[in-house]
Amino acid sequence: MLEIKNITKRFGDVEAVKNVSITVPDGSFLVLLGPSGCGKTTLLRMLAGLEHPSEGQLIFAGQTVSDGDKNWTVDPAKRNSGLVFQSYALWPHMSVRGNVEWPLKVGQMSKAERIARVDEVLELLDIHQLAERYPNEISGGQQQRVAIARTIAPKPGVLLFDEPLSNLDAKLRVEMRTELMRLHRATGATTVYVTHDQIEAMTMATHVAVMNHGRLQQFGTPNELLESPATSFVATFVGTPPNNMIPVVKNGSGYKVGPKHMPFEPPKQTPESLAMFRAEALHVRCEESSTSLPMELVEMSAIAGRTMVTALRDGLRLTAIVDDAPKVRIGETVHMELPSQPACWFGQDGERLI
């Protein structure tokens, strides 16, 4: 349904998006995930037609809608797509019904069809009781539902969301995630959703594209990203809590982890590699062992019936998930014990070795 082919976007000398290629099937829920400034919103704006690619092509359902190589693009209104902004962007002088009906009027739908379609989407978003109210008379969460209703009313083939939940409180964000997934199933539209929140990405997506510094780090299903991260950035950005990345440095005939020699051997003979350890594989001890690192305890918190323990030493931060909290206080020393082998290895450039 949606093809992003070798897309690059330049603003002067700055490359905001660098040679990104993604293909997802019809009806997918694609999440563009990454930190602020990674290029995900710029890519979404190109899909919406608000920015034009410098290179590459964007293809909806087999039809090219932007070609940066030929400097050619289809008008945003003719792409069969709908965009929900981070801000609700509702007309303040129009009622809820008027806001939702507006794009149908622009599309010259008959009055009877408009009334029926507006009633349908208001019911779908559970805001039918707000039909005659104005935006300043309803809550932020209700305004977001109105914005979504307005977007899906014309039945677009592609739905685009630019961090639509960022203005909502934590409880409402969780509720709206559920509503958006239900809406996706009900409409069947291919959806592209931008967020920096990896919990949103992992819970909502069928496919995730992780971006950093304008480049695509990895594309796959949520499970693929969690089980087989392709780069050290993905390994530490995705997951709750994120994976631990520990430098392993060549030292004589062996290797050092922090201040200690340990029996780890990277798959390639390089001066320094990165060993990944999952939080649930680490143990927290009160006494030192041959495979433990003495560190300062900085955080402890309950998570799903277990305890998340975080410790710090010389800039290295490690997190473990354990059954029982250690009997020490914040600021005291704990010993973070590593398993016999890391889950995987990465080179100094962040690329996965095995």
Could you tell me if 150 and 274 lie in one domain?
A: no
Beta strands in 68-133 (DSSP E): 72-73, 81-84
How confident is the model over 194-201, as a mean pLDDT? 93
The pLDDT, as a whole number, for residue 45 is: 96
Could you tell me if 253 and 108 lie in one domain?
A: no
Domain boundary among 236, 261, 278: 236
| Residues 85, 159 contacting (CB under 8 angstroms) | no
The pLDDT, as a whole number, for residue 47 is: 97
The pLDDT, as a whole number, for residue 254 is: 84
Could you tell me if 309 and 173 lie in one domain?
A: no
Q: What is the pLDDT of residues 3-62, one digit of tens each?
A: 999 999 999 999 999 999 999 999 999 999 999 999 999 999 999 999 999 999 999 999
* pTM listed for this prediction: 0.91
Residue 199 within a domain: yes
| Residues 205, 161 contacting (CB under 8 angstroms) | no
Q: What is the CATH number of the domain that holds 48?
A: 3.40.50.300
The pLDDT, as a whole number, for residue 269 is: 80
The pLDDT, as a whole number, for residue 218 is: 98
Helix, strand or coil, per DSSP, at residue 346: strand
What domain count does the chain have?
2
The 10 Å Cβ neighbour count of residue 332 is 12
Could you tell me if 6 and 21 lie in one domain?
A: yes
Q: What percent of the chain has pLDDT over 70?
A: 100
Q: What is the pLDDT of residues 110-143, one digit of tens each?
A: 999 999 999 999 999 999 999 999 999 999 889 9
Residue 251 pLDDT > 90: no
Could you tell me if 249 and 209 lie in one domain?
A: no
How far apart (Å, rounded) are the C-alpha atoms in residues 201 and 126?
24
The pLDDT, as a whole number, for residue 57 is: 98
Residue 320 within a domain: yes
For 108, the domain range is: 2-236
The pLDDT, as a whole number, for residue 181 is: 93
Domain boundary among 201, 236, 271: 236
How far apart (Å, rounded) are the C-alpha atoms in residues 214 and 193?
17
Could you tell me if 217 and 245 lie in one domain?
A: no
* Residue 26 amino acid letter: D
Q: What is the CATH number of the domain that holds 338?
A: 2.40.50.140
Domain boundary among 236, 253, 282: 236
The pLDDT, as a whole number, for residue 159 is: 94
Beta strand pairing call for 207-212 and 29-33: parallel
- Measured over the CA atoms of residue 329, residue 335, residue 340 and residue 346, the dihedral's sign is positive
Q: What is the pLDDT of residues 82-108, one digit of tens each?
A: 999 888 889 999 999 999 999 999 988
The values of phi and psi at residue 190, to 5°, are -65, 130
* Residue 317 amino acid letter: R
Could you tell me if 327 and 184 lie in one domain?
A: no
Q: Which residue has the tokens 């060993």?
A: 275
> DSSP string spanning 221-250?
-HHHHHHS-SBHHHHHHSTTTTPEEEEEEE
User: Tokens representing 162?
Assistant: 């630019």
Compute the 3-state secondary structure of the chain and give helix, strand, coil in percent, each to the nearest 5.
Answer: 25, 35, 35
Residue 352 within a domain: no
